[in-house]
Chains A and B, each alone.
Chain A
Amino acid sequence: MNREPSERVDVCIVGAGPAGGLMADGLARRGHDVVVLEAGPRFDADHEDRERRMERSIRPGHGPDSVWEMGGERDAYESTGEQYYPLNAARVKGVGGSTLHWQGMVMRLHERDFRLETETGVGADWPIAYDDLRPHYADAEDELGVAGASDNPFAPPREHPHPQPAFEPSYSDSLFADACEELGIATHSVPNARLSEGREGRSACVGYGTCQPVCPSGAKYDATIHVERAEAAGARVLDRAPVQRLEHDDAGERVTAAVYATPEGEQHRQEAREFVLAAGGVENPRLLLLSESEQYPDGLANSSGLVGRFFHDHLFAGVGGTLDRPTRQNHVGFNTTESHQFYDQPPDGSRGAIKLEFLNYAGPSPVEMALGGDDWGDEMLDRIRANYGTHVAVGALVEQRPRAENRIRLHPERTDDHGNPVPDVVWSLSDDERRTIERANEIQRRIMDELGADVEWTVGPESTGPAFHHMGTTRMGADPESSVVDSQLRTHDLGNLTVASSSVFPTGGAMNPTLTIAALALKAADHVDERL
């Protein structure tokens, strides 16, 4: 394929995940010349290829990151904080980005999330309010084909129903609903970025049950949809074209080119009028730091010194066990009931947001048990029967507060396949966060007790891990001294550089971020369009 740069380009977008895909689509459809530079490959999108990847994901013998070919020198990283961060499990590089692997839960942040500091005295405020994002949320739900219902008493206000009907609750949801009702905990449906009805030539969910990391039917949304749409509208997408750095003009006010490498070992410069960084919450700050120049020795758009700072994620908390009766798990790979009753942070800021999830895939599946055992024949079947069928689990996402010491920085020694310093993830938990996880565990245990479950495991403060949502590293704000981008997602320092990503979130609540990423990308596309 020809990977020479294009001439007379309006917009150059770095990264072909949902943020880059939505912006490329929106801008190309408005008649702008768009080039997308994507570091990873374009995976075959056919059904057969997806089924083979699904097989890799189910069968032991393949590394967990190998389904989407992550790892190696290209993706080298370090994790030097108190808490280990498994970065390559937390992202995919390729056309479609991390949504190839994602779970696809998509909910709006709450109104309070946008003014957390004002309301609770901790965290930070966003420079925009829920109402500013509200129309873009509705558009984002439409773009992603979200299946949802309006039965959630805790959800922020909305005008229209979701574009697709919600998935019905599972059998195990009904067990949880009874127990929760006894305890006064309200349960409700989950908005899912997967089709409950076919649309635009895409299949409805058919129940492969392997959504994360791969949906063979294409019912689960992934960003290849918008990348392909952008291409149909005239955008040019170069895969395996990792951007090495951004260059700026003499005045230091505008980005002039994105320098990218090709598989043939060449380097090219893509010039454009506007640039969009959509490389995810880790690579966005890294690329800005790699783009240091004489004028900007600390990296581009970094006059605040905050590029890479305030890295935060959501923390997982969970309790699981078994009942004395069948629970019918692992038929599908997504959840259909949650509770947002413990979401809103108390006014004294004493704990973060908690989002409860009732799993439809608790415990091992029979095929996993068959493949991973050291027996066969009738003995194996007895083991599978004894271990499958009665598991239940309640998970939760717990809010992490943005703290400056948690950060993405360039590692001083280790370099990637192009000789660039690798990202170093410096990550830790605070005592407040540990307490919020404990609070989530308490609620989860009460529910499990009410169900009469035998609790077998707890993911608590000591064993928690990240939910793979990379936020905060190019935070949005009104003040150039304390933020990297403004409310239009444009960097304070360079007038034609937009950052579209959860990296702009000042705080992240406890909702999975991608619907908000999509809403922000649609908003940013409007602003770029206005400037062009």
Chain B
Amino acid sequence: MELTRRDVLAALAASGAAAGASVSLASDPGDGPVGDHEVDTLVAVARVVYPSAVDGVESFVGQYSVERARDRPEYASGVADAVAALDEYSRTWEDAEFVDLDAERADRTLSGFEVDTADPDPEGSDRERVRYYLVNELLYALFSTPTGGSLAGIENPQGHPGGTTSYQRGPE
């Protein structure tokens, strides 16, 4: 399933970052804490944590993250900080930054860091912050969009203002 501009807007709306379809989506990070490297790392994490049926990950994650970081400095620094923690772990065990790992090593690195079993906590340990600011951030963005929800069988997921007719409809 292809993630589109509509999904980016939906994900942003679910996080209180953008208002309406009139927003023009930038993909240039500018010079806040979430720069190219952070966005690239988020894309690399998304390639591990998103189901393989999802297409259009790079532009979805890129546009979403840039827009979201723009007017939320506390969130942006949380992301930057979590990327630094992930890179440090990755350099120690794989001798490379996370963005430079291939799919298998990226998955192994996140699992090795025990991010899968970590409790998400914006103020927690390194792995808990990676879980909160990178993994859960991306999963929240995906599953609050109609495309992400539809993967799981719900076209109007929680967090998405999808109207009041879908709940009345029976299964296809």
Contact = CB atoms under 8 A, between A and B. Distances in A.
A330 B152 CA distance: 12
Contacts of A171: 167-171
Nearest to A55: B15
A328 interface: yes
Majority SS of interface residues in chain A? loop
Contacts of B148: 366
Interface string B125-139: 000000010011001
A147 to B, nearest CB: 11
A266 B75 CA distance: 35
B159 A169 contact: no
B140 A331 contact: no
A519 interface: no
Nearest to B20: A47
Contact of B19 (A48, A52, A174): A48
B95 interface: no
B89 interface: no
Contacts of A168: 164, 168
Residue of A47, A58, A209, A332 with most partner-chain B CB within 10 A = A209
A208 B161 contact: yes
Interface in A46-76: 47-52, 54-55, 58-62
B13 A51 contact: yes
Interface stretch (A232-240, A279-287, A378-386, A522-530): A378-386
Contacts, number: 167
A206 to B, nearest CB: 4
Majority SS of interface residues in chain B? loop
B154 interface: yes
B120 A326 contact: no
A47 B19 contact: yes
A375 interface: yes
Contact of B162 (A55, A331, A360, A385): A331
A330 B136 contact: no
Interface stretch (B22-30, B33-41, B47-55, B59-67): B47-55
A167 B170 contact: no
A388 B153 contact: yes
A375 B110 CA distance: 11
B16 A331 contact: no
A209 B16 contact: no
B40 to A, nearest CB: 19
A360 B167 CA distance: 8
Nearest to A168: B168
B161 A210 contact: no
B166 A331 contact: yes
Interface size band for A: 35 or more
Contacts of B154: 328, 330-331, 365-366, 388-389
A365 B136 contact: no
A462 interface: no
A510 to B, nearest CB: 25
Nearest to A360: B167
A207 interface: yes
A376 B15 contact: no
Given A326-B153, A330-B157, A49 B169 contact: no
A170 B139 contact: no
B167 A207 contact: yes
Residue of A336, A365, A369, A385 with most partner-chain B CB within 10 A = A365
Given A51-B16, A326-B171, A377 B51 contact: yes
A209 B120 contact: no
Interface in A342-380: 360, 365-371, 374-378, 380
Nearest to B45: A376
Given A170-B167, A367-B159, A59 B120 contact: yes
Contact of B132 (A50, A61, A169, A360): A61
A494 interface: no
A367 B167 contact: no
Nearest to A208: B161
B74 to A, nearest CB: 11
Given A61-B122, A366-B157, A170 B13 contact: no
Interface string A296-317: 0000000000000000000000
A376 B116 contact: yes
B15 A377 contact: no
B161 to A, nearest CB: 4
A175 to B, nearest CB: 9
B67 to A, nearest CB: 13
A18 interface: no
A97 interface: no
B16 A48 contact: yes
B84 interface: no
A375 B153 contact: no
A509 interface: no
Contacts of A60: 119-120, 136
A52 B140 CA distance: 12
Q: Which 7 A/B pairs are nearest by Cβ-Cβ distance?
A: A51-B16, A331-B167, A366-B152, A206-B161, A367-B143, A376-B49, A52-B16
Given A208-B161, A371-B140, 9 more contacts: A50-B16, A54-B14, A59-B120, A326-B171, A331-B156, A367-B139, A376-B50, A385-B152, A388-B152
7 contacts: A55-B16, A61-B121, A208-B158, A331-B154, A366-B148, A367-B158, A378-B52
